[in-house]
Structure 1
C-alpha cells in the first residue's frame, strides 16, 4: 500500500462532482439493494408523459436510461453538478451515449420551491434526495401521478460518521421511513410500496475514506484532513493491518400515488 501522504494527496485532489463513485473501485465496496432502483426507473420512465427527476446529481442514473418521456426535466441545486449535467446533455444520454431522441431540460433549483406549475408531471423520481419536500412533490404531480424514489435511510454510514464526530443520538432518528410515509400522506400522497435495506460497506485504504467524506459533505460537515488527522492516522494504521473499516448504508424504496385533488 502506498504511503499515508500519497493516498491523502491523491484523494484530496480527485474530482468529487456528480454522483459517480467509480473512483472507489478496488478501494471500497458497498452491497447493492435487492430491488434494483436503476432498472425499475428505466422501465417506468418511457411510460410517462412528463417526468421530473429531483436532486439528480450529475445525471449518472438518467444517463443509463435508454428511453425518456417526451418531456424530461432534471433539477439540481449545486452549481458544479448543474454544469456537469449540461455538458452531459449536449454529449448525449442513454446507455450507448448516442444523442437521445429526448434531450432532458436541466433546471438549477432547490426542491423546496420547484419552479413548475401545479400538476405538471405524471412521474416524479429521485435517487437519494437531500430532503423530500412532500408538499412540493404532491403539488407538481398530476392526479394519480406517481412518486418513485430511493431514499437514504436512517443511521446510514453512521459507523463512519460517528468515528469522526462521536455519538449522535438525535441524528439517528432522522430519515425514518415510517415518518416519511406519514409526511407523504399528509401532503396528499398514498404510499403504495415501502421497502428498506441495510447494505454493508467496506473501506480498504485511507484515500477512499477521505474521498468519500469530501463527496458526502453532509456526513462530517466540518471535515478537513488537518482537523481530523489523528483519527485518519489511527484508521490508516487499522487498514494497513488488513482490517477494513465496515459501515452500513441504509436505503428506502418508496412509491406513492397522488390522491385526486378536491374539485371546488
Structure 2
C-alpha cells in the first residue's frame, strides 16, 4: 500500500464527474495543457459556416464547440453516438435551432442524400462514402482527427499495450481514403504537439474521459505505475506525452 497523502488526494480527486466533452476542470485550472497546432479548427470552419445554407456537425459531444461557432445557417444538425452526451447536447443546442440526432454508427447517418453544404467533424470517426452521400454536389468536408499514435506515452508509462486497431490511422491513410471515395483534398496537415499533465489527478481525470486509450482502466490496477509518474512530476514538474493530430479539408469531386 502506498502511503502518500498527496498522491491519495489526487487519486480521489480524479473521481469528479465528467460530462459532455468538457475538460475545463483540468484545463481552466492549468492542470493539463496542450501544445499549439499550426492551424485552428474553429478559424477554418467559421468562414465556411457563413457561406452555406445547411451544415452537419458529426460527433458534437455535449455541443460545447458547436455552440461557439454561431451564427448558424438556416439548417443545422448534429450527431452524437455516446448516449450520456445526447441530452447534454440537446439541452445546449436545441434552443439555438440545432437538431441533435442520436446515432449508433457513423457509417449510417439518419439523413437523405445531398442535404448538407458543409459537414464538420472534430475527433469523430466517419465513413467517407456516407459523408459524401449526405453532402451536396459541391459540398465541403472538414475534419480534425486524433491519429493512431496519440498519447502512446501514457500506455508506455503504465506498461499497457498500445491498441493496434488504430495504428494505421494517420494523414496519409485518411487522405488516400478520401480520394478513393470521390473527394478532392484541398488542405492536409499533420502534427504532434505535446500534452502535459501537472499532477497525477489530471492524468487520471483525462483517462476517465477517454476510455479508448486504456480500455477498462481502473486506477487501483496501476497504483505502482501511477505513483512512479507522480514522483516524476514532483521532480520535473510535469508528465509529458505527444499527441497526434491531423487536419483534412476536402470537396466532393
TM-score, length-scaled by structure 1: 0.88
Quote the offset at 1:178 in angstroms: 0.9
For the Cα contact (< 8 Å) 1:123–1:141, is it kept in 2?
yes
Match of 1:54 in 2: 58
Quote the offset at 1:81 in angstroms: 0.8
Give deviations 1:166-218, integer Å, cap 9, x for gaps. Answer: 45384573211111111112221111110112111111101001000000111
1:1-264 equivalences under 5 Å are 3-12=6-15, 14-25=16-27, 26-90=30-94, 92=95, 100=96, 103-109=97-103, 110-129=105-124, 131-166=125-160, 168=162, 170=164, 173-259=167-253
Give deviations 1:21-42, integer Å, cap 9, x for gaps. Answer: 2111321110121211112222
Quote the offset at 1:163 in angstroms: 2.0
SS at match of 2:107: coil
SS at match of 1:59: coil
Tell me the distance in 1 between the aligned counterparts of 2:5 and 2:55.
46
* Structure 1 residues 80 and 172: alpha-carbon distance in aligned structure 2, compared to 1, 3 A threshold: closer
Quote the offset at 1:145 in angstroms: 0.6
Tell me the distance in 1 between the aligned counterparts of 2:147 and 2:249.
15
Match of 1:95 in 2: none
Q: Which runs of 5+ in 1 are unaligned?
A: 93-99, 260-264
Q: Which runs of 5+ in 2 are unaligned?
A: none
Quote the offset at 1:117 in angstroms: 1.0
**Runs of 4+ residues over 6 Å off in structure 1:** none
Tell me the distance in 1 between the aligned counterparts of 2:227 and 2:205.
15
Quote the offset at 1:15 in angstroms: 2.4
Quote the offset at 1:230 in angstroms: 1.5
Tell me the distance in 2 between the aligned counterparts of 1:10 and 1:74.
33
Quote the offset at 1:243 in angstroms: 3.9
TM-score, length-scaled by structure 2: 0.91
Quote the offset at 1:120 in angstroms: 1.2
Quote the offset at 1:239 in angstroms: 1.4
Tell me the distance in 2 between the aligned counterparts of 1:172 and 1:108.
24
For the Cα contact (< 8 Å) 2:157–2:229, is it kept in 1?
no
SS at match of 2:106: coil
Give deviations 1:109-158, integer Å, cap 9, x for gaps. Answer: 131210111111110111111x2211111111111211011111231111
SS at match of 1:147: strand
SS at match of 1:137: helix
For the Cα contact (< 8 Å) 2:160–2:214, is it kept in 1?
no
